[in-house]
Structure 1
Amino acid sequence: MHRWIWKLLEVTQEFTPAFAHHCLGACERQHRTLNERLTVHVLKEKSWETEIHSVTFSMNSSVNSSIDFSPFEIVFGKRPKFPVFGAHFNLNDIHPNMQKYFSDLKDRLNIIWEMIVQNAKVSGEKMEENANFKLNELKLSIGDYVYLQRTLTGQGRKFQPLYDGPFVVNIIPSPHLIKLRDLSGKRKLKSPVHINRLKLAHIRAPDPQNYLVQVPQQNPVSTSSDSDSESSQHEINTEQDIQLQNDNPTPLRRTSRVVQKPIRYRDENFLSEISSCDGAQEKIKRILAKKPHGSSFLYLVQLIGEPAQNAKWKPLSKLPPKAQELIIARPPPLV
């Protein structure tokens, strides 16, 4: 009976592989929305059996952004009446000619279905365009190093590595399927993998020391016959020396690190001329106040690394040039 109804309504059955939820996105999306909306009521200690009717009605009356119609309107050809409008029944709403009513309903549904097909096509093209714009196409060739994305299972999946490898591209049977080979030979990858599971691996040379050996420059070849024999013998000796250097390369010297002070301690303008007994110079942090001293002023100076209670009075001649400029630009308060 069900198969006869499906055939009458032109309903086709499509099969998808197991554990591939992305192949059935429309159905899985509906299940996710239904689960999210029922969770709110279950957390309020309500029975989901009583709330599922209102949730399904809200889902069927919501307009889909891709086709611009709600599921209720696609089936019945009109917008749903919500309980807010009232549940009264009027006999005048009954169509006098039911044959004309069904004919108009059929024409209205055909128009809605044609618009749905056009909107779905435009929405699909726009989605495909956005996906292709963000897609970083991976171009591989035989001999490239790649990482293989793993399928995480079991407990502690958040702490497991996402990729495994590196592997070497062995055969490319199609633009989407890649056959890999393990460098260590411990793992055999018989079936090819999809290119979406691969990521390019940048592998450095195993021993770059040989490439850093300085090659001695060869002397220019002279035009005379005597110099030709000498130069050829010199070239042979030079090639032997290079071969010996490649076999026994000289150890590379590591660069020594130059330790520098922070930038705030490199500014000598804030270093006062007064030195302590151990030879360390004093660095001024700020000028707190000034007071008259004869015909000039004394300035209360706080040093870096000292609290304000240990500030010292110093004349203007004992201050560095930058501190003197700061006094002229922003005079401290007079006490």
Structure 2
Amino acid sequence: LLRAIISQNLKSWEECLTFVEFAYNRSVHSTTGFSPFEIVYGFNPLTPMDLLSLPMSERLNLDGKKKAEYVRTLHEKVRASIEKKIQQYTRQANKGKKKVTFEPGDWVWLHLRKERFPKKRRSKLLPRDDGPFQVLERINDNAYKLDLPGEYNVSSTFNVSDLSLFDVGHDKDLRTNPSQEGENDAITAIRRDPLALPSGPITRGRSKKFKEALHGLVLSTQEMFKDEGNPAHEKLVGGLREYIVNIIQVQD
């Protein structure tokens, strides 16, 4: 409003402040349906047009009790108007958004907000996400408690907007549903695992997928390593050894 009034006369902005303030306080706001001045005092301030011989507002001559009742009713109308406007804004903001919820036991990525993790976001080149972390408790649809290591020194409760689902992949299904007799689908899953990255630069997106696949591989093979008497144990170890060599070559 001030910019529109002063136009090119930038040095005269101080002289316009009084008029801009009056115009703002006298204008009806779309959210409340009333002017800020009327909400506070119960009537609008006089303008030069009011100096003419026109009928004065009835509310200017009300006694104290009636005026207080009018202001109370006015505030109720303003509150209802604001709530209605908020609902409209909420519907517009949530239009097209998909509701995301997690359950205890799910694994999620955590977005590292700069104001909450200043040390981990001190450089633009540092990762903006960390994890995956396991969901311990769903407080409500918007807040979740994570199994966060103590070294972070922050509250373990996060908003759903800072979380994204960790996709382990299909390795578990390949192992629990063997397709051929005498073979271990764990080895097949390793050969088809997305960790076998093609040659080329390691971008941020590919690094994240690489980390997801590696963590999924560790989770899904953890139980198999507990029993070294398993006939497929040596074969699995050999496959993992070959796989790690390929990973090192890709990183180099």
TM score, norm. by length of structure 1: 0.40
SS in 1 for 2:148: strand
Shift of 1:60: 0.9
Shift of 1:48: 4.4
User: Structure 1 residue 141 and structure 2 residue 101: aligned?
Assistant: no
In structure 2, what is the equivalent of residue 101 of structure 1? 61
In structure 1, what is the equivalent of residue 236 of structure 2? 246
Aligned length: 184
User: Structure 1 residue 193 and structure 2 residue 153: aligned?
Assistant: no
- Structure with higher strand content: 1
> Residue deviations 1:157-188, cap 9 Å, x none?
99466833123125327332423435xx9x44
Q: Letter of the aligned partner of 2:24 in structure 1? A: M
> Residue deviations 1:258-307, cap 9 Å, x none?
xxxxxxxxxxxxxxxxxxxxxxxxxxxxxxxxxxxxxxxxxxxxxxxxxx
SS in 2 for 1:167: strand
User: Structure 1 residue 165 and structure 2 residue 130: aligned?
Assistant: yes
Whole-angstrom distance in 1 between the partners of 2:51 and 2:181: 103
Q: How large is the RMSD of aligned CA atoms in angstroms?
A: 4.8
Q: Letter of the aligned partner of 1:246 in structure 2? A: L
Q: Letter of the aligned partner of 2:131 in structure 1? A: P
Whole-angstrom distance in 2 between the partners of 1:201 and 1:99: 59
Q: Letter of the aligned partner of 1:199 in structure 2? A: L
Q: Unaligned 5+ residue runs, structure 2? A: 183-229, 244-252
In structure 1, what is the equivalent of residue 79 of structure 2? 117
Structure index of larger Rg? 1
Gap change, CA 1:74 and 1:150, over 3 Å in 2: closer
> Residue deviations 1:3-54, cap 9 Å, x none?
xxxxxxxxxxxxxxxxxxxxxxxxxxxxxxxxx7469859743254322212
Shift of 1:78: 4.1
Whole-angstrom distance in 2 between the partners of 1:204 and 1:88: 75
Q: Letter of the aligned partner of 1:179 in structure 2? A: L
Alignment of 1:7-86 (within 5 A): 37=2, 41=6, 44-83=9-48, 85=49
8 Å contact from structure 2 (residues 132, 166) kept in 1: no
Q: Letter of the aligned partner of 2:239 in structure 1? A: P
Gap change, CA 1:167 and 1:58, over 3 Å in 2: farther
Q: Letter of the aligned partner of 2:62 in structure 1? A: F
8 Å contact from structure 1 (residues 38, 55) kept in 2: no
8 Å contact from structure 2 (residues 2, 17) kept in 1: no
Whole-angstrom distance in 2 between the partners of 1:118 and 1:100: 25
8 Å contact from structure 2 (residues 109, 163) kept in 1: yes
In structure 2, what is the equivalent of residue 256 of structure 1? none
Whole-angstrom distance in 1 between the partners of 2:181 and 2:17: 85
- Identity percentage of aligned residues: 16
Gap change, CA 1:48 and 1:179, over 3 Å in 2: farther
Gap change, CA 1:116 and 1:135, over 3 Å in 2: farther
Shift of 1:61: 1.8
Gap change, CA 1:69 and 1:204, over 3 Å in 2: same
> Residue deviations 1:235-260, cap 9 Å, x none?
xxxx73x44432323979xxxxxxxx
Shift of 1:59: 1.6
Q: Letter of the aligned partner of 1:118 in structure 2? A: A
